[in-house]
A and B are shown apart, each in its own frame.
Chain A
Amino acid sequence: MSGDGLVWLGTPAFPEAAREALADTRLRRNLRRATTTIRDKRLAAVGELDDWERLRESGAAIKRRTLRHLGHYLERLEEKVTAAGGVVHWAADAAEANRIVADLVKATGRTEVVKVKSMATQEIGLNEALAAEGITAYETDLAELIVQLGDDRPSHILVPAIHRSRAEIREIFTREMGRRGKDAPADLSDDPRALAEAARLHLREKFLSAKVAVSGANFGVAETGTVCVVESEGNGRMCLTLPETLITVMGIEKVVPDFVDLEVFLQLLPRSSTGERMNPYTSLWTGVTPGDGPQEFHLVLLDNGRTQTLRDTVGRQALSCIRCSACLNVCPVYERTGGHAYGSVYPGPIGAVLTPQLAGVEHAASLPFASTLCGACYDACPVKINIPEVLTHLRAKIVQGRRPGAEALVMKAATAVLSAPGRLSAVQRASFLGGRVIARKGRIGRLPPPLAGWSAARDTPAPPSESFRAWWSRTKESS
């Protein structure tokens, strides 16, 4: 399947990929419906807490403290997990993380693993890497199952199958479930209840027989070595509890200093992501508990571009992300294009700042420009990541790193004009004359490139005969 990996090869630059997505009427409808629903829910859940802004400040500050002292907290986490009977591994990049996980699975003698939804394992393309080693990974989150069965790509951080309607999901289940296990019921309807029930039946045998599970982590507490997974369906509990071996892949930025910090994040996360007071299930475990749950626990700490992101004092705030996806749900661009156009497992506003930093700006140079800088993402972010600030910062990096083209010439020329009011007046006069040639009844219609995209849907007002500064000179200074 092609859905994994930080940057998907073969995805065109954002404007082009977006054009295709915008023409997909079913996608547009699914997205509008889903984002509208979740926005209202989030606003209601957040509105219940009078101290929401204080919680956000606190969450942002905890993340700031963590990132500024990341090495300290990682070493502490390692020490505590080890003391509690877990084994900690360090992976500098995706290949190393995949190698570690594959070797751990092989050591158990098993060829199947069940998986809890995890962005980190998608980012490193773990499923493909395991498949190459003869190991089958079963996604158990409902949306991930839909994506996996549909040989599809995720399009949202929280709800990876947000681009699919119930009718499409029914088709996928009916067609594909039998190939990977228990078939879908013959009379399956497209009622979400029936679809969820089909997933329950399909995965039940996998859960009950699984010996190895792979998960991600929402938080890893340095003070205690406690790892936390937040979920809704119970597939997480199944994977974290029933198998003999648990392998958790965690980005190094997911460490938090103290157990008490969870009181902030466990309030911020569910209300921001699903708009609930609390998600149905939150599991916390510390190493291995004799007689309860997996007796072998491995924690893989993943870098894969995170330390490179940390170098950038402006861009590093993107590492504070707790993957709630509120920014996707409020983004007017995401709402229209969906996630696939971003060409990465991290779509939407946070993806536009995270993907180019993790992969290197040259691999995702169109993403920081895929935003109107409207600021809705910053307002919604529970840890106050100033996404517009990082976007403009990355734009500057991209412009600086590439060979100057026509756009750079235009910008330099504009600066030259705007650096001399006399030149500006001359340009204003010239644009009036030019406008008089092409305007019809005060309106300018279609224009050649690079203004063709602008003028395709908009008239432009003809420049007036007198600019403001000319009017001012004539009326205010002549006397």
Chain B
Amino acid sequence: MSSRLRILDRVRAALADVPPAERPEDVPVPRDYLRAHAEDGLVVLFAERVADYRASVLRTAPSGVARTIRSALAARGLSRVVVPPGFPAAWTDLPRTEDLGTAELDAFQGVVTGAAVAIAVTGTIVLAGGPGQGRRALSLIPDHHLCVVRASQIVADLPDALARLDPARPLTFISGPSATSDIELDRVEGVHGPRTLEIIIVDDLSEEEP
């Protein structure tokens, strides 16, 4: 007998107490938890929560994105920067990069990407490999990650974020720079992933003041 059949047989035998007519949905799952732990002021909350992870946050009007990106890169002295295809033309004139090998990517100091969605309560950005977000390796190997998020992309909490995402895409949830608590449970930022995370919030919601 294959192990597949053997394991499935064992599972069936182990669950002799479950009535044969019971369907999975017959086991009740309460869903009365909150859909979100915040309602208003999501942009401000997102900025605060991102900053709590010791990531830096910049805010700008839509017209100021290009300038903000330029000065953010300049402030950190980053000249070798990779930008994925599909990143809005109005935001930077840096060259878009198609497939690069791991070693080539390692030669870049930084990466500029967009995001698929952002979560206010947890201070999280989510990359889903869409236009302007790049392959996963792109936002991983360069040591500095600059991510541009539109205010309209910020949802309150995790449930709303998951609802907006396509599980078929490779998804990366990023909450602050890489970190570890492995030494005496003391949090240290900056291990293998990008050691600096900088987020630019574009205030594209008219009612939100930057």
- Residue numbers of A with Cβ under 8 A of B are 30, 33-34, 37-38, 48-51, 54-55, 57-58, 61-62, 64-65, 68-75, 84, 90-92, 96, 140-143, 146, 159, 161-162, 164-166, 169, 192-193, 195-197, 199-200, 203-204, 207-208, 221, 224, 226, 232-235, 237-238, 240-242, 252, 257, 259-260, 262-264, 266-267, 274, 276-286, 289, 291-293, 301, 303, 307-308, 310-311, 313, 316
Contact = CB atoms under 8 A, between A and B. Distances in A.
Contacts of B22: 68-69
A232 B178 contact: yes
A76 B172 CA distance: 24
Contacts of A195: 183
Nearest to B5: A90
B29 interface: yes
Nearest to A222: B24
B58 to A, nearest CB: 20
B31 interface: yes
Contact of B136 (A71, A169, A196, A237): A237
B2 interface: yes
Contact of A280 (B23, B28, B168, B175): B175
Contact of A58 (B33, B172, B180): B33
Contacts of B40: none
B180 A289 contact: no
B169 to A, nearest CB: 7
Which 6 interchain pairs have the tightest Cβ spacing? A234-B193, A307-B10, A234-B192, A65-B27, A234-B178, A310-B14
A260 B29 contact: no
Interface stretch (B65-73, B74-82, B120-128, B201-209): B120-128
B31 to A, nearest CB: 6
A283 B172 contact: yes
Contact of B188 (A57, A192, A313): A192
10 contacts: A96-B3, A165-B184, A233-B182, A235-B192, A241-B137, A259-B167, A262-B162, A276-B175, A277-B52, A282-B173
B8 A237 contact: no
B7 A280 contact: no
A262 B191 CA distance: 26
A241 B177 CA distance: 17
Interface stretch (B88-96, B98-106, B146-154): B98-106
Given A68-B15, A282-B172, A303-B10, A192 B24 contact: no
B61 interface: no
Contacts of B140: 234, 237-238, 241-242
Contacts of A91: 3
Contacts of B33: 51, 54-55, 58, 264
B182 A68 contact: no
B172 A237 contact: yes
Contacts of B185: 33-34, 37-38, 159, 162
Contact of B191 (A54, A71, A72, A196): A196
Nearest to A223: B167
B175 A140 contact: no
A73 B208 CA distance: 44
A424 B140 CA distance: 72
A322 to B, nearest CB: 15
B158 A263 contact: yes
Given A68-B15, A303-B7, A313-B17, A235 B191 contact: yes
Contacts of A278: 119, 122-124, 173, 175
A257 B25 CA distance: 10
B184 A54 contact: no
A72 B24 contact: yes
B132 interface: no
Of A224, A277, A316, most buried by chain B (CB within 10 Å of CB) is A277
Contacts of A303: 3, 7, 10
